[in-house]
């Protein structure tokens, strides 16, 4: 039996440590405060009795749970979570609130500021009526993304160590910094980790099982103009802002994030800065289909070429950089690892929700680095903001899934 109170205490001890990452920093971890939790996790892994516990100069933590079966052909598997939180919303001075036996009504997060979490806005709340929810006081994010995943992995390792009768192969644990700024796997030593495959515990609602994600690229469009005194500008002035407007208006209006869902890709303008002489646009490109992804990149280049032809000068340049790719490409040849996770969820009474991720994950980069890595739910909702919450019962089920995956990996080998 997994102890509910111990899980809650562990989770709260993690979320009250500020670990926001910072995309403007060149260091790894990107913020010094991430070391506060990293060092705590290293200590706790050793205290549990895990083997080969290490933390490198970049804050990557690894540990080994020895096998309880003598068959050395049982695959070594891993579980991975990130301990940083997003810079999108403050994670300083998190004050968790415990909502026992949730009654299905509005939750007052902060009476003074009239901040509430309501099922009228977030219908998913009603799925957890009668359960224990953990929220914030409405002034910070919670950090269940992904400290819920960290907690679940730690509690599962504790459970294994307390129950040596459970049959499992060697299990690797990995905790990473800077996932929220897209760098979580950049310096991950796959060879040192030593697993044949792994699972990131970084999904949302209970039951999520994901092995597809976007192909992703970033684009910077630079438009150059010519500034001339407006009183004498006829035939001379070239306003880069208006050329930028032409570029933006040429993007398909229905292929923006606010108009897409499922496997539909998009162009997203997420930054603009400029004046007459120079304007810069920052865009991201997303598509699950690799061919469509390449076509989107080519389309942006063609817009730049067309504007240069229209203005009869090289006024528009574009730099496109790939960020990550759809891990389905690397998972499909080893689909048994998804089937093990699916069966494990069903074995503990969970209906798997298999769907594509409309975003990225460390698992994507790790899969292309040679470590196939589907993503499993961690239980939280409304990530990256003040109304984030996590049902404790979902976290407990995630721990059960980890344990069952290890058991089913042994059974799958036996077959």
With b for 16 or more beta-carbon neighbours within 10 A and e for fewer, the 111-148 pattern comes to eeeebbbebeeeeebeebeebbbbbbbbbbbbbbbbbb
User: Which DSSP symbol is given to 238?
Assistant: B
User: Is 152 among the residues known to form the active site?
Assistant: no
Q: Which tokens in the block code for residue 128?
A: 């957890």
Contact 117, 387 (CB under 8 A): yes
Contact 221, 316 (CB under 8 A): yes
User: Is 212 among the residues known to form the active site?
Assistant: no
Reported as type and span, the H/E element at residue 139 is none
Contact 306, 312 (CB under 8 A): no
- Phi, psi at residue 133, to the nearest 5°? -110, 145
User: To 10 degrees, the CA torsion angle through 398, 400, 401, 405?
Assistant: 150
Given the residues 146, 170, 179, 400, select the one marked as catalytic: 179
CA distance 72 to 86: 40
Over its C-alpha atoms, the chain yields an Rg (Å, rounded) of 24
Given the residues 44, 84, 137, 152, select the one marked as catalytic: 84
Which conformational region is residue 267 in: left (phi greater than 0), alpha (psi within -120 to 50 degrees), or beta? Answer: beta
Peptide bond into 146 cis (omega under 30): yes
Residue 57: exposure state from Cβ atoms within 10 A (0-12, 13-18, ≥19):
exposed
Q: Which residues are catalytic?
A: 84, 179
């Amino acid at each position: 039996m997994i102890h509910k109170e111990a899980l809650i205490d562990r989770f709260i001890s993690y979320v009250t440590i500020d670990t926001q990452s910072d995309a403007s920093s060149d260091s790894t971890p990107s913020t010094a405060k991430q070391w506060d939790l990293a060092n705590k996790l290293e200590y706790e892994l050793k205290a549990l009795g895990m083997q080969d516990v290490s933390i490198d100069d970049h804050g990557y933590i690894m540990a080994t749970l020895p096998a309880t079966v003598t068959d050395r052909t049982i695959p070594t598997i891993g579980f991975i979570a990130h301990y940083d939180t997003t810079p999108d919303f403050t994670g300083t001075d998190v004050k968790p609130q415990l909502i026992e036996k949730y009654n299905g009504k509005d939750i007052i997060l902060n009476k003074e500021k009239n901040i509430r979490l309501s099922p009228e806005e977030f219908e998913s709340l009603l799925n957890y009526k009668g359960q224990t929810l953990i929220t914030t006081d409405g002034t910070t994010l919670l950090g269940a993304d992904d400290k819920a995943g960290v907690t679940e992995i730690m509690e599962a390792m504790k459970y294994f160590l307390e129950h040596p009768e459970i049959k499992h192969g060697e299990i690797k644990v990995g905790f990473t910094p800077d996932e929220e700024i897209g760098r979580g796997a950049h310096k991950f030593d796959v060879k040192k980790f030593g697993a044949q495959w792994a699972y990131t515990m970084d999904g949302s609602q209970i039951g999520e099982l994901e092995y597809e994600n976007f192909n992703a690229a970033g684009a910077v469009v630079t438009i150059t103009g010519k500034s001339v005194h407006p009183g004498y500008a006829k035939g001379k002035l070239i306003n880069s802002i208006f050329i930028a407007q032409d570029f933006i208006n040429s993007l398909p209006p229905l292929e923006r994030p606010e108009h897409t869902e499922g496997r539909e890709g998009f162009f997203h303008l997420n930054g603009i800065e400029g004046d007459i002489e120079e304007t810069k646009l920052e865009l991201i490109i997303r598509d699950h289909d690799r061919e469509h992804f390449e076509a989107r990149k080519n389309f942006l280049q063609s817009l730049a070429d067309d504007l240069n032809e229209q203005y009869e000068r090289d006024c528009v340049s574009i730099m496109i950089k790939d960020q990550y790719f759809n891990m389905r490409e690397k998972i499909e040849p080893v689909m048994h690892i998804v089937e093990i996770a699916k069966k494990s969820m069903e074995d503990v009474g969970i209906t798997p929700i298999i769907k594509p991720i409309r975003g990225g994950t460390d698992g994507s980069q790790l899969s292309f680095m040679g470590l196939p890595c589907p993503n499993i739910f961690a239980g939280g909702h409304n990530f990256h903001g003040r109304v984030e919450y996590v049902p404790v019962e979902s976290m407990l089920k995630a721990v059960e899934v980890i344990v069952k995956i290890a058991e089913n990996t042994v059974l799958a080998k036996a077959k």
